[in-house]
Amino acid sequence: MAAGVVATLAMAWFLGNAERNRLGVSDATSPGESVTVGLGNGTGVARPRLIVFNLALTIAVLVAAVLRLLPMPLLFMAGLSLALVVNYPAVSAQRARLTAHAANALPIALLILAAGIFTGVHDRHGNGRAMAKGAMTAVPDRFGPWLGPITALLSAPLTFALSNDAYYFGVVPVIAQTAALYGIAPVEIARASLLGQPIHALSPLLASIYLVAGLLDCEVGAMQRFALQWAGLLTLVLIAAAIATRAII
């Protein structure tokens, strides 16, 4: 864990300095100067006088979500409707706010539907379990005692290409059963299966990557091409640290 935090901070420092140099930002900037970032200031849409109401509404929705007082879709739709009506009473203003965020929201909704269909077909026909068995068959017997590190390395591409349910409920149990034959505890396989999370965060099956790409105004493919190399490096650091601390053997 500590190694991952240190590596993440080091990458953030390196990439931050590189971006500062690219933009020509200098440490010698005088106190009265500021750097303008072209993200838009939302002039005319801020509602500072309603900050207490918006904060209370946000907390209420989150508490209701945690307590499961209503189904999640109904709860968040009700919260959105109430926020729109109170903050922007005019229908034209509500329409403008929905249009402003539609470019980010609609692809995520479509992704969730597509991922649900893919996951359903994948799980119903046992594709994930078949892939796991095939992978275990391809591993030579002499590599059996090294299934911990092997699982850690495989977790990156598998979590990138498979949904969480397909991987953790379909693939990992098969690997754990095979590893038990070589005296490897299931907890070690469980730890190893989590080490590919940096690359999993860039999976096209996650809605968050489309939201981030929309906020950055870039293509998902371009963001993946840039970030995969750093995510891969962080994954290797996590695996090396896990092996060095004997979290996996």
pLDDT digits (tens, 9 = 90+) for 23-35: 887 654 544 454 5
Per-position DSSP letters for 178-199, written without gaps between them: HHHTTT--HHHHHHHHTTTHHH
What is the structure's pLDDT at 77? Answer: 92
**Residue among 200, 209, 203 nearest 234 (CA):** 200
Choose one of 87, 116, 139: the last residue of a domain: 87
Query: What are the tens digits of pLDDT across the range 162-205?
Result: 878 778 887 888 888 888 888 889 999 999 999 999 999 998 87
| 171 shares its domain with 83 | no
The rounded radius of gyration (Å) of the Cα atoms in the chain is 23
Find out whether 58 and 50 touch, Cβ atoms under 8 Å. Answer: no
Domain count, the chain: 2
pLDDT band, very low/low/confident/very high, at 207 (cuts 50, 70, 90): confident
Model pTM score: 0.65
| 77 shares its domain with 109 | no
Q: Amino acid identity of 77?
A: M
As a whole number of angstroms, the distance between CA 220 and CA 213 comes to 6
Find out whether 196 and 155 touch, Cβ atoms under 8 Å. Answer: yes
| 237 shares its domain with 115 | yes
Question: Which residues lie below 8 Å from residue 189, measured CB to CB, with a gap of 6+?
Answer: 147, 148, 151, 172, 175, 176, 179
| 128 shares its domain with 81 | no
For 127-154, what is the mean pLDDT? Answer: 77
Instruction: Assign residue 35 a region (left: φ > 0; alpha: ψ between -120 and 50; beta: otherwise).
Output: beta
| 136 shares its domain with 196 | yes
| 197 shares its domain with 142 | yes
| 77 shares its domain with 116 | no
Instruction: Assign residue 43 a region (left: φ > 0; alpha: ψ between -120 and 50; beta: otherwise).
Output: beta
Distances (CA, A) of 79 to 55, 58, 87: 12, 8, 12
Find out whether 200 and 174 touch, Cβ atoms under 8 Å. Answer: no
Find out whether 149 and 248 touch, Cβ atoms under 8 Å. Answer: yes
* Whether the predicted pLDDT of 9 surpasses 80: yes
User: In which domain, by residue range, is 76 found?
Assistant: 48-87
78-107 in b/e burial notation, b at 16+ Cβ within 10 A?
Answer: ebeeebbeebbeeeeebeebeeeeeeeeeb
What is the structure's pLDDT at 39? Answer: 42
Mean pLDDT of the chain: 82
Residue 70, classed as helix, strand or coil, is coil
